[in-house]
Amino acid sequence: MSKEVTGTTWNVYDANKLTQAEIYGQTLCDLGDVYPEIVALTADLAKSTKIGLFQEKFPERFVNVGIAEQNLFGMAAGMAKTGLIPVVSTMAAFASMRAAEQVRTDICYQNLNVKIIATHGGVAFASAGTTHHATEDVAIMRSFANMTVIVPADGIETANAVKAAMKVDGPVYIRIGRGFEPTFYKDEDYGFEIGKAVEVREGTDITVICMGITVLQAAEAADFLKKNDDLSVRVINIHTVKPIDKEAIMKAVTETRRILTVEEHTVIGGLGTAVADVIAESGKGCAFTKVGLQDEFAEIGYPEDLYSHYKMDADGIIEKVREIMGKDFEEDDNWDDEV
């Protein structure tokens, strides 16, 4: 798996016009020219997941299995066993829960080259309710050995992630939204690398570590707090939840001593837990707060209402940062001198 993508211009996506899912669909079509091994599979969601664009271009390399997610991922495993690279798209809730065993046992255990593009991640399908929310998927997927887990910040990063996933010789889970989320990045040339976090705002007082749609929200919060509160807020887009960038996390712990994780996911087992694991194992102490669903299922509503309610939007992050900064966190030990 070391093919270079040639003859493809990656900066063609007009992020103001194309949704995250549409960019993914277009990216996959471009990759289909480069990689004849790519086959696209879905379970009656060709339209919603935009994988249908690939179907139009490569009808013989597209399979719709109907509403049958267990078979979807089992068949993908079988196809990968014959040398193909199946790219499988369905909603994150069904990929991670209905077909969890097929993903774990057929795909991860056999370490197969299957790329899962899970749409409607988090509470993106907000008013559809809990059956269609995927608020545990990152926790589930990151617990499977051999699995790489990526949560892109927007459509631009999705294009980068899908492209990079083709160079991983093994399973990759890419969790995207519904497609209507605002874009954070302006272009694709910011140095996307799987497993390497991106510092999107510099800062020294506190670090907000986030993934997916919360990256834009945290960046806006940081800009606001700099202007109005004279606070220096570092924002890290940790698009790859596994393998996680320990170096970026520990650098933030050492340099800012306060960590806030924000995830569109339960705080049990997801990004916050992954970051907490790194910090706990380091033996270093810091102020640490997790924003996300607090052992609860999400309400029904429009996405913006839910992001606001669960403090995942800029206002919520501003509120949380102020709360943390208002607390007396004495740096009463000298561990940072020993680093």
Partner 1 sequence: MVQKEEYHKLLKTARTIRHSIIDTTMKAGGAHVGGGMSALDMMVTLYFKFMNIDPANPDNPDRDRFILSKGHSAIGYIPVLAERGFFDKELLNDFNKFKSPFGMHPDGNKIAGCDASTGSLGHGMPMGVGMAMGARIQKKDFYTYVIVGDGELNEGSNWEAAMAAAHHKVDNILVFVDRNMHMIDGPVEEVMSVEPLTDKWKAFGWEVLVIDGHNLNEIAQAIETAHKTKGKPVVVIAKTVKGKGVDFMEDQTKWHYGAIDSALGDQAHASIDKMYSDLGI
Least Å distance between CB 275 and partner 1? 32
Q: Rounded to the nearest 10 degrees, how much is the dihedral formed by the CA atoms of 176, 272, 130, 54?
A: 10
Token pair for residue 72?
């979807």
Name the site residues for partner 1 (rule: CB under 8 A). Answer: 39, 60-61, 63, 65-66, 68, 70-71, 73-84, 86, 101-102, 105-106, 109-111
Q: In this structure, are residues 263 and 292 in contact, taking their beta carbons and an 8 Å threshold?
A: yes
CB closer to partner 1, 101 vs 187: 101
Strand order across the beta sheet in which 85-91 lies: 62-64, 38-42, 85-91, 115-119, 172-175, 148-150, 240-242
Closest CA relative to residue 241, chosen from 337, 173, 166: 173
Residue 157 annotated in active site: no
Report the C-alpha gap between 313 and 110 in whole angstroms: 39
| In the complex, least distance from residue 37 CB atom to partner 1, rounded to whole angstroms | 9
Closest separation in Å from C-beta 88 to partner 1: 11
Cα separation, 162 vs 49, in Å, equals 14
- Distance (Å, rounded) from C-alpha 326 to C-alpha 334? 22
Least distance to partner 1, CB of residue 169, Å: 13
**Range list of H helices, the chain:** 20-34, 46-49, 52-57, 69-81, 92-93, 100-101, 137-142, 155-165, 214-229, 246-256, 271-282, 303-309, 314-326, 335-338
Q: How far apart are CA 324 and CA 231, in angstroms?
A: 12
Selected catalytic residue, list 37, 69, 136, 188: 69
Give 89 or 237: the residue with its C-beta nearer to partner 1: 89
104 or 265: CB nearest partner 1: 104
Compute the chain's Rg from CA coordinates.
20
Any bridge partners for residue 293, and if so which? 266
Q: Considering beta carbons, is residue 81 or 186 the nearer one to partner 1?
A: 81
Smallest distance from partner 1 to CB 264, Å: 30
Shortest CB 138 distance to partner 1, Å: 23
Amino acid at 159: A
Name the residue nearer to partner 1 (CB basis): 71 or 282.
71
Closest to partner 1 by CB, 62 vs 185, is: 62
Q: Are strands 38-42 and 85-91 parallel, antiparallel or unpaired?
A: parallel
Minimum gap (Å) between residue 45 Cβ and partner 1: 15
CB nearer to partner 1: pick between 13 and 144: 144
Catalytic residues: 69
